[in-house]
Structure 1
């Protein structure tokens, strides 16, 4: 993992002194990287993950897989390398599957993908696998994954908490079968079971029985990546029953995968163009993707910008005028902090809906956004499932992050237009976007293309 620069406890968010014009190379997707690592680790043959995210969350995932016995060889090449997605250079990780084993301890940090995707993997190991993490990880929902795995044949010791810390008593295999799960709090509950399912003796049939299902794009991402690795997956989109996914048992293939840029992490940079009336270009923006961040093209256009996909990437242009928006973010909840920050600077009221589940993310994001924007003079109120934001003239002050990377970038967005905003613990952005402070400074100087190259930095 790249060394994190020492940063002040309070980071002065730069005020934009003009329009922003920059090309920003956004590092790879956390969601794609961590799914690719799990699938490659469970494959029957070695594979490659190219242009991976290198951040705290992906390092926690790779360290955990290594602890279970998986080989991960990291290389950097300036020359092109053949892949199924075309010729690419840069960083590449060769994943060498092996017999999974314990005893060992997995540190999940506060990474939802690690704490939820790896317990099913651990059931396939021979030996006890203990899961522990940051204090906040003890509070995040995990009980549905634990109970589902028990239904499928796993033995898990959690002292009845339904949360971390816990120990998975790996038996070298898992029977699998049919299981009901309430994934209303996180789509990761479904993805966690699907990713390991090809290795279960009976595969798995997952039936979601909750009232809501947030962030469906992340489940679609899981399904597409499973199919790319050779798995047979039947889904609701394929004409089956609603909210039922079936994965057949079978060998996963070692693949050569190129990780897309993290589109959700492009959000603050696109917001800078919207707020200042400038232009930001994000290279390698995919024309087709399952990433939730692709919704930014539509949402930020409704809020006053315009965009075009070109050979250079996504070119986003703002007018300097920001309009309020009434939007359902249930499928793209991770975008809420950045949208709330922009909405606080708009010319009319905004209502952000469908994101009650954000109260259970890295922090209670709805309460945190309300508290911090209002502390700067804003007018935000919580609703049952989101936020109502009435723009007001704001002033400087400390913007607390609650160890949440998206809170930090949201504060930086507000700081573009509000003088004197100081971000507490901006270093928390290393979770998915290392070098964010330098990338932000470079963008304002008109050159962010060289900071955060695809192998050096960063959605569910």
Structure 2
């Protein structure tokens, strides 16, 4: 068995950091993701006065919770490039008391925040501005009823749900649109692990007040979005790879990418605690809706030219407002490599072809860099303009992919 030690889930790590900061007691995260996004979230919590011991390279992180809220009444918080930190940490500040200034990188400043900030205003926070940077004047959250459009990012809904137990009266959220719905399952599962109660009836979520209590030790499973690159690598090389500790019990929606590969002809085995993919002689074409697994769109788009027929990816408008316009970035980069694509507002179609070498413009987007690195296993001369941007979620990505390719080569 050729196994890849995929690092911990960013989604789980950052949610758990925020929950642990708000909980009664000490939480130990086992095998958290150690990357720029999660370290940025930990640093933001530290700026608010939370006791977060998150050393780089450590197998465990320790967080001592403060149910009463931030330990400071004024702070400047910088959340780097990370959308999860930029959208989750403010709910802790809003539930506290004081004046807090939030800022982030230029890349993150361009990403949507307005629906979340508008909702926090309805719950009692005073916020100057509708995007980063902004200043928040907090005096606790009263709770109540909120109507939310989460069609651009499910993180808006996650942030509000995380805030629910910290409100005075509880929270009732009616969602008009929702993208990447499986991320909400992750949120609810983790909130319940920290003792919260979330009831869902259709598009209405009800969260009881009462705060959080620590589960003590919380293991973090591998990141399914990161796993997609290694599964794709096996699929296009006719090789076999296994990702341990990521199996059918996972709530991570991006694990559905394995089924996409199966529908294209790969052999996929999904067990309780691992997933294995073996690539066919050639993948087949496919039309697939990735609305709820949109972070895997670049993975599929990058390998699509190697399929026997066209690959059409639909219902992924939200990928246009990520770290970059990912849909357009995929189309432009594939074009530079000699591949024909067509795009619409929320879809892309990639025609089969033989990509040639060339320079991929990553737009400082980790997912563009990782996706096209996989294509590089089959395309000599493919280069990235910014290979280091993978530090956002998987600093060791190139080493892991190189080691996997070397192990496959040694087996021939």
Does the C-alpha gap of structure 1 residues 310 and 192 become closer, same or farther in structure 2, counting only changes over 3 Å?
Answer: closer
Contact 2:196 / 2:211 at 8 angstroms: preserved in 1? yes
Give the total of aligned pairs.
Answer: 405
SS in 2 for 1:72: strand
- Per the alignment, residue 457 of structure 1 pairs with none
- Per the alignment, residue 44 of structure 1 pairs with 24
Mapping 1:23-172, distance limit 5 Å: 23-74=3-54, 91-98=59-66, 99-100=69-70, 101-158=72-129, 162-171=130-139
Could you tell me how far 1:25 is from its partner in structure 2? 0.6
Contact 1:307 / 1:316 at 8 angstroms: preserved in 2? yes
Does the C-alpha gap of structure 1 residues 423 and 120 become closer, same or farther in structure 2, counting only changes over 3 Å?
Answer: same
- Per the alignment, residue 80 of structure 1 pairs with none
Residues 213-252 of structure 1 show CA distances to partners (whole Å, capped at 9, x for unaligned) of: 21000011111111111111111xxxx2x21111010131
- Per the alignment, residue 182 of structure 2 pairs with 217
Could you tell me how far 1:209 is from its partner in structure 2? 2.1
- Per the alignment, residue 15 of structure 1 pairs with none
Could you tell me how far 1:312 is from its partner in structure 2? 7.7
- Per the alignment, residue 259 of structure 1 pairs with 220
Q: For residues 294 and 266 of structure 1, what CA distance do their matches in structure 2 show? A: 8
Q: 1:208 and 2:175 equivalent?
A: yes
Contact 2:390 / 2:397 at 8 angstroms: preserved in 1? yes
Mapping 1:23-422, distance limit 5 Å: 23-74=3-54, 91-98=59-66, 99-100=69-70, 101-158=72-129, 162-171=130-139, 173-210=140-177, 213-235=178-200, 240=201, 242-255=202-215, 256-309=217-270, 313-422=274-383
Does the C-alpha gap of structure 1 residues 22 and 187 become closer, same or farther in structure 2, counting only changes over 3 Å?
Answer: same
Q: For residues 248 and 283 of structure 2, what CA distance do their matches in structure 1 show? A: 26
SS in 1 for 2:107: helix
- Once structures 1 and 2 are overlaid, which stretch shifts more, 26-35 or 380-389? 380-389
Which structure is higher in helix share?
2
Residues 242-279 of structure 1 show CA distances to partners (whole Å, capped at 9, x for unaligned) of: 21111010131111210010011011111111111111
Q: For residues 135 and 322 of structure 2, what CA distance do their matches in structure 1 show? A: 23
**Of residues 384, 394, 404 in structure 2, which corresponds to 1:423?**
384
> 1 or 2 for the larger relative contact order (CA 8 Å, sep ≥6)?
1
Q: For residues 300 and 340 of structure 2, what CA distance do their matches in structure 1 show? A: 15
